[in-house]
Amino acid sequence: MRRWLLWGMLLGCGCAPHTQTFEGQGKMQDLEVVPGARLEARCNECSLRLKGDFQELDLEGKDNFIILEGRARVLRLNGQHNSVECQDGPERVFLSGSGQRVKITEQPGRSRPQIQIQGTDQAVTYRPASEKASSPGSDKSDSGSPPGRP
């Protein structure tokens, strides 16, 4: 009983975020993430719609498409050809592998995330909150490189 009480207190103070896991192959699914949690997703060829405001998305795999309805403070993508669309931008983005894509809808008053990139062919693009998701040519790209470098 004491152990559960202590664990609950740690979760309540934000000291140890709850970790949810998702594993799949070729799945299409909506997933509600526990507020303040960390989501570890290990999947290939999955299409996920994640709902809720949570601490971190740690995605490993290839050919995944994720829509974040809510906010993850930290995005970690590792693998090949994963795509994440964020309705509310994270504070930090870590891309590793090749072909990772993150599309962020900018929110007024919120700064752009810190970006750390390892690997090749990675991109983070931004779309103003006033534009619809399907507006072609509305993305502004930031590859994490200094100006003048690809």
Give 34-64 pLDDT, tens digit per residue.
999 999 999 999 999 999 999 999 999 999 9
Indicate if the pLDDT at residue 16 is higher than 90: no
pTM, entire model:
0.75
Mean pLDDT of 139-150: 48
> How many whole angstroms separate alpha carbon 81 and alpha carbon 121?
9
What mean pLDDT value characterizes the chain? 82
Nearest to 44 by CA among 24, 30, 59: 24
Mean pLDDT of 98-127: 94
Beta strands 47-62 and 38-44, pairing class? parallel
Domains of the chain: 17-142 (2.160.20.70)
